[in-house]
Structure 1
Amino acid sequence: MKAKKSWLVMLVLALVLGVLAACTGNKEPASSENEGSSEKDPVTGGTVVGAMDTAPTGLFNPIFYTEAYESNILSFTHEGLLTQDKNLDFIPNLAKEWTFNDDQTEVTFKLDENAKWHDGEPFTANDVVFTYKTIASPGYVEAGGVRTQYVERLVGYEEFSTGKTTDFQGVVAVDDHTVTFKFAQPNVLALSDASFMIIPEHIFKDIPVAEIPEAGASRNPGEVIGTGPFQFSEMVQGEQYVLKKFADYWQGEPKLDSVIWKVVDQAVILGLLENGEIDFVADPNGFQAADYETVDALENVEIVEQPDFGYQTMGLMHNHRSKEDSEAGTINPANWTVNEKLKDQKVRQAIAYAINRQGLVDGLLYGRGIVQNSPIATQFWAYDDTTPNQYEFDPEKAKALLDEAGYKDVNGDGFREDPNGKEWVLNLNYPLGNQIRERSAPIIEEFLEEVGISIDLRQPKEAAAYFEDLEKNSQDWDLYLIGWSLDSTDPDPSGLWSSMAGYNYSRWNNPEADQLLKDAFTPPDAFEQDYRKQKYSEWQVEFGEDLPSVILYAANSLWAHNKRLQGIDVLPYSFLNDTHLWHVTE
């Protein structure tokens, strides 16, 4: 067999080193509560610097952005009516209270009267209506919008989104500080649906939906307007992004003067932390597990470790989107074409058995992570870690499944041909930016080649180009690596894995799975959590059988900050919480 051995040898070595490190270190994860830190008196003002390893693509509009790197900016600048606490329960934010009607088809929010936009305009119920109306509008999806799950259950969505009516009935302003969400039926996801970040009507009302993503107000410092504690004030594209405090912030003037994001290579983050050039590294990638002991030894740095609210995965292209639909920005499964190279379910299952995922966790993450078998966050009540197929590493099982499917090595070159005896090569695509993911790609290649699957490991691309290709030009792709940071508001995976989801890059079209997702929030049964848990369990089984993706692992979130930065109070899904309370001691 032609499979190279170098990466496998390195993985074995990494496994051994990981075990040794675990045996000698044996430390409990650092607390997320800053226990034991000695808080000094806060200093008024000051600047802190955060590091991220990949540059934002440059779209800073909550209803259109697609990456965690933009979220790093938007988490400071924009807000929703609700936020969540550490138990993932909804708590007031721009809305101070809410009430449901008797049949759970309406929820009315009372808005905070003190909230205002960065340009001084008052925040009102009309802004909430405008935000949701825009997401529901004809042309939103075509313009690149992928958040229709927040509006699909609103009254009249189908008629409004298709242009059959111009009357938007789903969200109604009762008065300046009262807004009602109206749903077509009792909605178990009502608070989740109403929690999305709000954009200002007065800024965007005269801009056609198709033009919003390219508008200056969606891209340029000084023009991006939110209600959050910091304003996006300056940037050097791809290098540095500056946020200055919004003195009139409705929850009180932020204690810091500014927050600066710098884009730096992961390889230099430790040195910058040590010498104080950066004050924190957190979402989405933090620092590397291999560097844990080094960071732990830095006297001026504190570690925050907790399970990641997301996962790394290898997508398997079931179907390919048509070029016409890609250009038009539409999602239409009827126009998809089957990926012949991966159409056999046994082949996809063989791929899952062939990858030593625990080896990746132990070797590349030094054990600081878990193998995950479902695209639902492990922190949610809906995650099922027993019923779905667990796909323990079993290369012999992988080989047997490939044999059963008719994929055999007929010419003796060490690689399998397809059932017709023709060359069978799967291409594997991955982006730059996440070093662990980059290192995993050639290892996965070798695992697959060990069972006779010929892999074309393509050259990695910069993240922006990669995701554009994945969305619009992936007609010849087979396998792709990607990481997802998940929505914390509800375990429902529809936004990534329903057939009509824009993020369903595998173009998975499974009516049974779609129906289970619908059942999971169809009343009245869906108001019982046990019922929803059962439906999501059944869906996870279906996902595991049909395999639009092999969930690889969930790394532990490893975040760190200089001890001079205080007021940190992390959430299960984010380091960036209550940033108006952040302060420095020197």
Structure 2
Amino acid sequence: MLKRFNVKLAFLILMLLFGIVLAACNNDTANEGEGEDPDEQTEDPGSDTDEEDEEPANDEPQMGGNLVGAMDTAPAGVFNPIFYEEAYEANILDFTHEGLLTQDETMAFGPGLAHDWDINEDNTEITLYLEEGVKWHDGEEFTADDVVFTYKTMASPGYIEAGGVRTEYVDKLVGYEEFVNGETDEFEGVVAEDDYTVTFKFAQSNVTILKDVAFQIIPEHVFADVPVAEMPEHPATLNAGEVIGTGPFKFSEMLEREQYVLEKHADYWQGEPYLDSVTWRIVDQSVILGLLESGEIDFIADPNGVPAADYESVASQDHIEIIEQPDFGYQLMGFIHNHRTDEDAASGEINPENWIPNEDMSEKLVRQAIAYTIDRQAIVEELLLGHGSVINAPIAQQFWAYDDAAGTDYSADLEMAGSLLDDAGYVDADGDGYRDTPDGEEWVVNLNYPTGNQLRERSAPILAQMIEQAGIQVDLRQPKEMSAYVEDLTNNNEDWDLYLLGWSLGSGDPDPSGLWRSKDAYNFGRWNNPDSDQLITDGITPPDAFDQSYREDVYSEWQGLFSDDLPALLLYAQNKIYAFNERVNGIDPMPYGFNNDPQLWWVSE
């Protein structure tokens, strides 16, 4: 019954077919933070010139210059913090928009657009004092009204239906349910005390209060008269030159799917950026490395850094600097537990009561059996060349809540896989070498994946072959471009069974809200587990949740439940390998992303 093949040989064949040794870029991530003084980030190459001819040493930040970064996939085109979904779009928004708070290398919160704040004794209110004199890119002044508008929009009726996925930042605020359900026109949760003071009011003590007030702000004066349903298609969401933020760079030009130009915001409130511009070029992975070596591009960063296969080649280039760090996220193979109805997909409604079970993937024994067919360690060793790790828990490894031991270690075990499938009634009824459904019909499991990330593309046929070893017939679908792929996942009203995806996790808190609750928009597999929902709620419910040891216990239990019920099999966390030309100074990535303090980046020639 068990179909066996040589895993090492399969990897070798696929490496030859796909040209892995010559490939050029991979991974997933996004976010922001604080950087070091640029003086401490530069290297002085030294000089042997005579004193009388001596020019100033080129070890101080220089004004001017342009940088070119490369992405292998074009942004979907939604450049609005409250609506975007992809890390490619984040590469624009990280430069253009800001939140009230930032985070440092320890993930502690610090000042951003707010320079100070007060929290009341029971953590139900936080009052933030905003920086004065901050200018939007169009010259208008940033005020507390912009903060109120941003959060009110995310709490508004129709936000979810319009494609909004950031309700975790507003659903704990006072009056949210009444406001989102249309029972009142007033939103009590966020109040402008004056032009530079804003208060957030939560319905109960809030364990994640700093994370919840740190979201990027959008301008009221641009969107005030735009219905929520129309915001995703508004020119100020889509068009270069019309996207307005407070960040150090303006989104000024775009040749769609080819290049995206950010020019400096000279009136930036933290000081004029050193660089004149940063341009993102969309380049096929097969040529990115060559362009970096020739100097045509200056850096390769998020979301797909340098692939592990090219590490040695890049490291051998004297003019290229490399930074390697663990990814703040993971790659997964998801299981579609349930499908949405066509009506819900069309309206944007997420209602578990309407979901239609995916007949085979809704069986836990089947999901566990498929998990046991995957040799994840072989993928890390053969495709990542050791630049990564197998993980068993869907929380970033850098967080205190990560508990690798809490979950089931689904090491490759074909005997276990076969036993579980037998128990579930999936046996080879007709003798063709493939298992059939319990009612004797042909069983075909489809595996879907997007283009753009070469490592993920290479892993897809490997995963299909591994699954077929247990006698499961796999239909490896043709990959789709990422934006179309995400649209299909969001609608989830088709016949998908398995999907590949990478998650770049938020750095604010290990709370898995937003990804894995039943009603979360990003819960693409439509996993509906009340016990999971309750544990996620318990992890942020005071007063117990103010005790970190309590939260550790809750999240450990939740990670065990996740691993047992398997909304997804976590495949690996690839190390991020960033590379940049030595002429670039001031680079200081945070644990969760590369695009940190770009106003402090500068170039030396």
Pair 1:233-2:252 in alignment = yes
Q: Please show how residues 480-559 of structure 1 align to structure 2 within 5 Å.
A: 480-559=499-578
Pair 1:313-2:323 in alignment = no
**Partner residue in 2 for 1:9:** 9
**Partner residue in 2 for 1:450:** 469
Partners of 2:151 and 2:554 lie apart in 1 by 28
Cα pair distance change 1:492/1:453, threshold 3 Å: same
Partners of 2:200 and 2:447 lie apart in 1 by 44
**Partner residue in 2 for 1:462:** 481
Q: 1:390 aligns with which of 409, 422, 445?
A: 409
Partners of 1:585 and 1:343 lie apart in 2 by 57
Contact 2:155 2:176 in 1 (8 A): yes
**Partner residue in 2 for 1:50:** 69
Deviation, 1:43, is: 2.9
**Partner residue in 2 for 1:299:** 318
**Partner residue in 2 for 1:578:** 597
Secondary structure, counterpart of 2:524 in structure 1: coil
Partners of 1:269 and 1:500 lie apart in 2 by 39
Contact 1:8 1:446 in 2 (8 A): no
Contact 1:315 1:481 in 2 (8 A): yes
Cα pair distance change 1:369/1:474, threshold 3 Å: farther
Amino acid at match of 2:264: K
Partners of 2:528 and 2:493 lie apart in 1 by 16
Contact 2:585 2:602 in 1 (8 A): yes
Q: Deviations over 1:245-280 (max 9, x none)?
A: 000000000000000000001111110110000000
Secondary structure, counterpart of 1:340 in structure 2: coil
Q: Deviations over 1:193-230 (max 9, x none)?
A: 10100000000000000000000000111100000000
**Partner residue in 1 for 2:445:** 426
Contact 2:336 2:497 in 1 (8 A): yes
Q: Please show how residues 121-160 of structure 1 align to structure 2 within 5 Å.
A: 121-160=140-179
Q: 1:329 aligns with which of 340, 348, 359?
A: 348
**Partner residue in 1 for 2:182:** 163
Question: Which structure 1 residue ranges, 5 or more long, are not aligned?
Answer: 16-20, 22-31
Q: 2:584 aligns with which of 553, 558, 565?
A: 565
Secondary structure, counterpart of 1:109 in structure 2: strand
**Partner residue in 1 for 2:298:** 279
Pair 1:70-2:89 in alignment = yes
Partners of 1:264 and 1:453 lie apart in 2 by 37
Amino acid at match of 1:144: G
Secondary structure, counterpart of 2:515 in structure 1: helix
Q: Deviations over 1:378-433 (max 9, x none)?
A: 10001111121111121111111111111111222111011111111111000000
Partners of 1:400 and 1:473 lie apart in 2 by 30
Deviation, 1:375, is: 1.2
Q: How many residues were matched structurally?
A: 572
Contact 2:97 2:247 in 1 (8 A): yes
Cα pair distance change 1:105/1:195, threshold 3 Å: same
Secondary structure, counterpart of 2:422 in structure 1: helix
Pair 1:59-2:86 in alignment = no
Partners of 2:200 and 2:409 lie apart in 1 by 40
Amino acid at match of 1:217: A
Pair 1:210-2:229 in alignment = yes
Q: Deviations over 1:23-72 (max 9, x none)?
A: xxxxxxxxx99989547433320000000110001110000000000000
Q: 2:498 aligns with which of 479, 501, 507?
A: 479
Partners of 1:553 and 1:57 lie apart in 2 by 25
Partners of 2:379 and 2:72 lie apart in 1 by 21
**Partner residue in 2 for 1:26:** none
Secondary structure, counterpart of 1:483 in structure 2: strand
The alignment's C-alpha RMSD in Å is 1.8
**Partner residue in 2 for 1:417:** 436
Q: 1:184 aligns with which of 203, 207, 223?
A: 203
Contact 2:41 2:585 in 1 (8 A): no
Pair 1:103-2:122 in alignment = yes
Contact 1:317 1:478 in 2 (8 A): yes
Pair 1:91-2:110 in alignment = yes
Partners of 1:403 and 1:536 lie apart in 2 by 32
Partners of 1:562 and 1:5 lie apart in 2 by 43
Deviation, 1:342, is: 1.3
Deviation, 1:473, is: 4.7
Contact 2:388 2:574 in 1 (8 A): yes
Contact 1:322 1:475 in 2 (8 A): no
Q: TM-score scaled by structure 2?
A: 0.92
Deviation, 1:8, is: 5.3
Q: Deviations over 1:222-245 (max 9, x none)?
A: 100000000000010000000000
**Partner residue in 2 for 1:198:** 217
Amino acid at match of 2:426: Y
Secondary structure, counterpart of 2:346 in structure 1: helix
Secondary structure, counterpart of 1:342 in structure 2: coil
Moved over 2 A (4+): 1-8, 12-15, 32-43
